[in-house]
Structure 1
Amino acid sequence: MPNLKTTASISTKQLRTKAFKANTIIGWSFILLATLLICLFYFYPMVQAFIMSLQSGSGTNLTFIGFDNYIRLFKDPTFLTAVKNTVFYLIIQVPVMILLALVISVLLNEKTLKFKGFFRTAIFLPCVTSLVAYSVIFKYLFGLDGILNMMLLKSSIISEPIQWLTDPFWAKIAIVMAITWRWTGYNMIFYLSSLQNIDHSIYEAAKIDGASAFQQFFKITIPLLKPIILFTSITSTIGTLQLFDEVMNITNGGPGNATMTISQYIYNLSFKYTPDFGYAATVSYAIVIMIVFFSIIQFKVAGDRK
């Protein structure tokens, strides 16, 4: 006579195995389509772009040249200028925008503030405006006879109009101001939502201990928002390194190449100059390398050491 317990145990294992296989098939059926689409529209173009970066030629008439394009980067004065301009935007604009977003979010999180909904909406609205539309508006604002110069002249802050779009330094400042105006509200939303999850009793205890608003900001708010600050810093870094629309529509990279970014240089290599898609792909991978580099630095400086 067979052992009934052994038979029951085998039957239970078989049922579990069948159930596991069924669940596995069902799980893969849910993610298979998404996985295929990600591979098709993300990983495949990335691999093809890397292969193209190892080629050179006019238009689609490309020949394999190995890593010569990557060596060419370090000898290309236009590329080096674009990198210098992009890093300038990154170093100046990102910290200013992050700090502004933090301060604004703290102010809008105050319980005694009236019309909070209006202020939050007003500050966030620039994020949903068209990139091209707002860039064109800023181009007119920063014109020689634009509203900004008129206001500065009437208030006697300046004696003659500032050459916002034709002076290399002021053109960069104009781009920084435009980017800051558009993206500060975007980061503010992240900080504001995180602040609302912080127990208010922490701030009340700090007030009882005699902590000033300045101390509360640096000793409580910033440490508790550290993961969100890291996230917004990395996303802002990625966005700035890929900066294109504002420069293209406000200054068109001028005067000269004083405001040209890496992304605009890629566009010029592909569509404005004699088409060199291989070298353009190489410059694109330079952005990838820079993003990885700056992200690692930010993780090391502000990330959780645990």
Structure 2
Amino acid sequence: MIPAKANTHPQVKTSSRNLRLKSTLIGWSFVLVAAAMIFMFYFYPMIQALILSFQSGKGANLSFVGVENYARLLKDPIFLTTVKNTLLYLIIQVPLMIILAIFFSVLLNNQALKWKGFYRTAIFLPAVTSLVAYSVIFKYLFGQDGIINIMLMKLSIINAPIPFLTDPFWAKVTIIIAITWRWTGYNMIFFLSALQNIDQSIYEAAKMDGASSIQTFFKITVPMLKPIILFTSITSTIGTLQLFDEVMNITKGGPGNSTMTISQYIYNLSFKYSPDFGYAATVSYAIVIMIVFLAIIQFKVAGEKND
């Protein structure tokens, strides 16, 4: 009997090793498929766009020009205008949106509030609406004879319609209102989920120590939300630097390029003007550089410090 048992050990080890090898191969097959898809649809186009940014020409007639396209950026008045417009949206809209998202999340996290589900859905609903559809609606709402102007005139707040879409200042205000309305609810969900994970005993201890609601908010809630604030700031910065749909559908970049964003300029270079795909790729990588630069600043300013 002992020799029979001894003979079974190599078979068991071989079977176990084959099973582990089979499991490993199956796991890697799933990973390799996903990795191949990511490389094909993400990294390969990025590499091709980088190569394209060093070329110039009309349509498909491209030739290598080195860093000439990048030097052209600093002398391009339209590009500089789009950068100024985009950064203006970023500086005003992102902090405003994050403050509103925190405000709504704190209100909707109140256990005594009734109909919380309804309010959360109502505020989040704009985030799942069609970008084109809501942009067109905002265009009609803020038109010369739109509902906003009609209501303001009926309330005797203004005497004449405000040129929301034809005045450079008011056109920017309309774009900022539109993107704030669209993305506040989206960011609110992140803050709301973070608030629900904060131990309520911390608030109870602060209340027993005599801390007011304002002190509790700034000394407990905001520090606890710091990682989410950083995350939403970075993602919102990326989204704003890539802003396209709202401007394209509400103002078309006008009046006189006063609302045009960098992404819309890329579209115009590729499809509206005489096609210059090489320079359009260069402008695209300008966005990448700006995103990396601003993300590093945000990590330095608001990121966790390593002791």
Same fold at TM > 0.5: yes
Cα-Cα RMSD? 2.1
Per the alignment, residue 221 of structure 2 pairs with: 221
Partner deviation per Cα, 1:50-89 (whole Å, 9 max, x = no partner) = 1111000000110110110000000000000000000000
Matches within 5 A, 1:162-241: 162-241=162-241
Q: Distance in 2 between matches of 1:196 and 1:114?
A: 17
Secondary structure of the corresponding residue to residue 265 of structure 2: helix
Per the alignment, residue 107 of structure 2 pairs with: 107
1:20 CA drift (Å): 6.8
Secondary structure of the corresponding residue to residue 255 of structure 1: coil
Moved over 6 A (4+): 10-20
Residue 35 (1) aligns with residue 35 (2): yes
Q: Distance in 2 between matches of 1:224 and 1:37?
A: 37
Partner deviation per Cα, 1:241-267 (whole Å, 9 max, x = no partner) = 000000000000000000000000000
Per the alignment, residue 4 of structure 2 pairs with: none
Per the alignment, residue 251 of structure 2 pairs with: 251
Q: What amino acid sits opposite 2:293 in the alignment?
A: F
Per the alignment, residue 128 of structure 1 pairs with: 128
Compared CA separation, residues 297 and 12, structure 1 to 2 (3 A) = farther
Partner deviation per Cα, 1:12-60 (whole Å, 9 max, x = no partner) = 9999987775554343222010011111111110000011110000001
Per the alignment, residue 81 of structure 1 pairs with: 81
Q: Distance in 2 between matches of 1:297 and 1:91?
A: 14
Q: What amino acid sits opposite 2:242 in the alignment?
A: Q
Partner deviation per Cα, 1:143-185 (whole Å, 9 max, x = no partner) = 1121111222222222322111111111101000000000000
Runs of 5+ in structure 2 lacking a partner? 1-9
Q: Distance in 1 between matches of 2:252 and 2:62?
A: 29
Residue 299 (1) aligns with residue 291 (2): no
TM superposition score normalised by structure 2: 0.92
Q: What amino acid sits opposite 1:255 in the alignment?
A: P
Q: Distance in 2 between matches of 1:221 and 1:151?
A: 38
TM superposition score normalised by structure 1: 0.93
1:228 CA drift (Å): 1.0
Q: What amino acid sits opposite 2:165 in the alignment?
A: L
- How many aligned residue pairs are there? 300
Per the alignment, residue 284 of structure 2 pairs with: 284
Q: Distance in 2 between matches of 1:141 and 1:205?
A: 48
Q: Distance in 2 between matches of 1:118 and 1:247?
A: 30
Higher mean C-alpha displacement, 214-223 vs 97-106: 214-223
Percent pairwise identity: 74
